[in-house]
Amino acid sequence: MAHLRVPRPAWLSRYAGALVVLDAMAMAVATLTAKISWLGIDPEPLAIRSFSIPYWALALVTVPTWVALLGIAGAYDLGPFGTSHRVWRRLVRAGAQLLAVVAVAYYFAHLEQLGRGVLVGLIPLAVVFTVAARVVAGASLEALRRRGRARRTALVMGTVRSVRVLLGHLERQRSAGIEVVGVIELDEDTSAVGADAGGSAYGLDISGTRRGIRFRMAEALDTTRAETMIVTGGLAPGQLRDIAWMLEGTGVELLVVPTPADIEGLRTEIRPVAGLPLLYLDG
C-alpha cells in the first residue's frame, strides 16, 4: 500500500487553528481582567529591573506562554475526529504549569510592582476562560457534523453482527463525525464478502489467510479512499498487527474493538467515539 496516501482533513487543521486562536484570546482576556480588577483601568507603567513597559504588553508574554503550555500538556491532540481526550484534565495541568512559570518569572524578573493579585488571579481566569472557549468550539463542531460537515470517512471491518451493531450506533450518533463509506463483513471463519454502507457489493472474497485479508482490505481502501479503518473483531490472532503495520505511513487512522491478544506490542490509547470506548492504534 505504498501508493496509498490519505492527507490530513482540511477541516481538522482549521479546527486546530481555531482552538489556538480561541485559547490565545482567552488568555488575553484573562490578563486584561486580572489587571483591571487589581490595578484599575489605567495604572502606571510596570517597572521591570531597569526599564518599564505598559501593562497591556503583558499579553505579549502571557498569550504565547499559555498556548505553548497547552501544547505541551496535549490540549491540541485532537485524534482522528477532532475530539481532545481528557481535555479538561490537560487544561488543569497546563494551569499548574503556568503557576510554576509565573513563580519563576516573579523571582527572576522582580515583579513585585506587578502585585500578587494580578498573578494569582491570572491563572484561574485563564483556565476558566479557556474551558468556556473549548465548550463553545465543541458545540460548534457538533452543529457542523449534524449538517453533514467536519466528518471523516471510515471503512468498517468485522463480523456481521459486530459491524451491524456499530453501524446502528453510529446512525443514532450523528455528531460522532464518522461517515461510513464501506464495510467488510467477516464470518466466524474469517471468510468474507465486502459491501459498502449502502449494501452494494464490492465483489471481494476475503480468504482466511493473512495475505488475503491484507490484499482485499487494500483493495477496499483504494476503492473507498477511507480516512479511517475501524475493526470490530473477527480477525485471526496476529492479523490486526499485520493491518496496523500495513497502514503505517498511509495516513489512514486505525481504531479497533480488539481482544487483548490482538493489541500486544502495539501503542494504544482509548478514544471515545460516538460514546464507544474504541482503542486508537497509533502507528
Question: Tell me, what DSSP letter sits at residue 57?
Answer: G
In a domain, 211, yes or no: yes
**Do 67 and 190 fall into the same domain?**
no
Predicted confidence at residue 271, as pLDDT, reads 61
Domain annotation covers residue 163 = yes
- Of 116, 146, 176, the domain-final residue: 146
pLDDT confidence of residue 71: 95
138 & 15 share domain: yes
Strand, helix or coil for residue 188: coil
The pLDDT assigned to 223 comes to 87
158 and 132 in one domain? no
Low-confidence ranges of the chain (pLDDT < 50): 190-209, 260-264
How many domains does the chain fold into? 2
DSSP H helices in the chain: 10-39, 59-72, 87-108, 116-146, 160-172, 210-224, 239-246
C-alpha grid cell, residue 111: 515583579
In this structure, are 173 and 130 located in the same domain? Answer: no
Helix axis angle, 116-146 to 59-72, nearest 10°: 60
- Do both 59 and 171 map to the same domain? no
20 with 138, same domain: the answer is yes
Are residues 109 and 201 located together in one domain of the fold? no
- Give the domain-ending residue among 146, 173, 202: 146
In a domain, 4, yes or no: no
Q: pLDDT at position 79, please?
A: 79
Query: Domain span at residue 197?
Result: 152-281
Grouping H, G, I as helix, E, B as strand and the rest as coil, residue 283 is coil
Q: What is the CA radius of gyration of the chain?
A: 24
pLDDT at 201: 35
Quote the pLDDT of residue 258: 53
Looking up residue 178, the CATH number of its domain turns out to be 3.40.50
Model-level pTM?
0.75
Nearest to 9 by CA among 133, 184, 183, 141: 141
End-to-end CA distance of the chain: 15
- What pLDDT is attached to residue 39? 61
- The pLDDT of residue 15 is 94
CA 114 to each of CA 43, 173, 253: distance values in angstroms, whole numbers, following the listed order: 10, 50, 48
- The answer to whether residues 141 and 157 belong to one domain is no
CA–CA gap between residue 162 and residue 25 (Å, rounded): 44
* Final residue before a domain boundary, out of 114, 146, 178: 146
Same domain, 138 and 211: no
Residues 193 and 82 in one domain: no
**Using an 8 Å Cβ cutoff, are 66 and 94 in contact?**
yes
Asked if residue 230 and residue 111 are part of one domain, the reply reads no
Domain match, 57 and 84 both: yes
